[in-house]
Amino acid sequence: MAAEQGEARAQLNLRDCYEYGYGVDKDPGQALTWLQLAAAQGYALAQLELGFFYRRGDAGEKNKKQAAYWFRKAAEQGDENAQHALGFCYQMGSGVEQNLEKAFCWYRKAAEQGHSMCQASLGTMYEFGEGVERDQKQAEFWYQKAAEQDNADARYLLGERFYLGQGVDPDDSIAAYWYRSAAELGDQLSQLRLSELYEAGRGVRKSEADAWKWFHLEAKKGDSVL
């Protein structure tokens, strides 16, 4: 069959069969074997998946160094999800020595390809000077990029900037706009902030009903910030 003849995509598909039990008994060891064969041929998706395989410890103990190794292999081929994963490794010191400058570099590569989580991460790094010189304009630029892709974290962070006056003049009405847009995506912190704004009548018309509505949505999820 194609997998035995060395076809990388077929090897990755066979790995799925063994991992999830599609037509065969589940076998994490066989899944790893076929995934390694596909990754060794330079197939970026297999390299990315192998990184996650090691990070999760699907076939035994977790191996963060091997995870970072395979994320790098895929990231160097331009895979944006691998670039995000490798950036996270450098940010957290997972499998590699912590290096915020390298984290920033890999996040930026993915962000420039449109990866919304990396765009939001770049915003935070620019805002607080993590791995790069602080630049509030760049922070807002990348938050906006992520927010345009419905990234709830970026929308919440934009709300925070205008609510607290972080790098911009405080503006409760703009803060309320961003909190609402994130809250409607289910972001709990934004739901709580929006409840506070309605209760105080800041940036929105004071409304106990709306304050309770957003507080109740947040509280139902059992958020630990309460």
Q: Is residue 103 part of a domain?
A: no
3 pLDDT more than 80 = no
Q: Is residue 48 part of a domain?
A: no
Contacts of 177-184 with C-beta under 8 Å, sequence gap 24+, read: 178/147, 179/155, 181/147, 181/155, 182/152, 182/153, 182/155, 182/156, 183/214, 183/217
Q: Is residue 173 part of a domain?
A: yes
Q: Is residue 182 part of a domain?
A: yes
Q: Is residue 169 part of a domain?
A: yes
pTM for this model (two decimals): 0.87
pLDDT tens digits, residue range 28-80?
Answer: 888 888 899 999 999 999 999 999 999 998 867 899 999 999 999 999 999 99
Q: Is residue 183 part of a domain?
A: yes
- Supply the pLDDT for residue 32: 87
Number of structural domains the chain divides into? 1
| Segments forming the whole domain that contains residue 207 | 150-226
Q: Is residue 185 part of a domain?
A: yes
Q: Is residue 66 part of a domain?
A: no
- Check which CATH number belongs to the domain holding 224 and give it: 1.25.40.10
pLDDT tens digits, residue range 124-170?
Answer: 999 999 999 999 999 999 999 999 999 999 999 999 999 999 889 99
